[in-house]
């Protein structure tokens, strides 16, 4: 058979030792000493993966919704927890019927939750003020009896 026949391509393929030269990894098949290690190396213990750095950049943020009356505060708290992935820290009585509801979580989630809580508090009662602190200082967290924690943990 000649090499130009299209019926079988194997007729043109070299036989014996010469066949190794045609393969892609000929260099690594010549002997057991020349083979590449099949195991992947693990990263050293001192180094961190880039995924861990991304997780640590998501810092806790605080969101406040202050209303006049307990009913509006409860409605705002319910709407905030349902709207985003936030944790309800608690409520503060400021006196004179003012009640502040506090949530914590990721910055984006807290902003969305505070917006939803403000809208529902306006609908039910009187909204006094709304505020989000993106990265509170540890002293501010100590005011509310919270420790500094990373989001997602």
pLDDT for the residue numbered 99: 96
Helices assigned H by DSSP within the chain: 18-22, 50-57, 70-83, 107-124, 138-143
Q: Considering the chain, what percentage of its residues have pLDDT values greater than 70?
A: 57
CA distance 128 to 56: 34
pTM of the shown model? 0.58
Q: Considering the chain, what percentage of its residues have pLDDT values greater than 90?
A: 47
pLDDT for the residue numbered 109: 95
Q: How many other C-beta atoms are found inside a 10 Å radius of the C-beta of residue 149?
A: 12
pLDDT for the residue numbered 137: 87
DSSP conformation class of 59: B
The predicted-structure confidence for 52-107, as pLDDT tens digits, reads as follows 444 444 458 999 999 999 999 999 999 999 999 999 999 999 899 999 999 999 99
Q: Which domains does the chain have, with CATH numbers?
A: 59-143 (3.30.70.1710)
CA distance 81 to 63: 12
The angle, 0 to 180 degrees and rounded to 10, between the axes of the packed helices 107-124 and 70-83 is 140
């Amino acid at each position: 058979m000649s090499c130009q026949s299209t019926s079988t391509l194997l007729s043109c393929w070299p036989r014996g030792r010469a066949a190794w030269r045609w393969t892609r990894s000929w260099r690594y098949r010549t002997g057991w000493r020349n083979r590449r290690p099949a195991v992947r190396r693990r990263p050293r213990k001192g180094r961190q993966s880039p995924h861990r750095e991304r997780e640590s950049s998501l810092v806790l943020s605080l969101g406040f919704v202050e209303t006049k009356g307990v009913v509006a505060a409860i409605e705002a708290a319910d709407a905030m927890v349902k709207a985003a992935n936030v944790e309800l820290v608690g409520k503060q009585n400021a006196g004179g019927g003012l009640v502040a509801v506090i949530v914590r979580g990721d910055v984006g989630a807290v902003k969305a939750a505070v917006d939803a809580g403000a809208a529902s508090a306006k609908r039910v009662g009187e909204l006094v003020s709304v505020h989000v602190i993106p990265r509170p200082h540890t002293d501010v967290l100590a005011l509310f009896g919270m420790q500094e924690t990373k989001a997602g943990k």
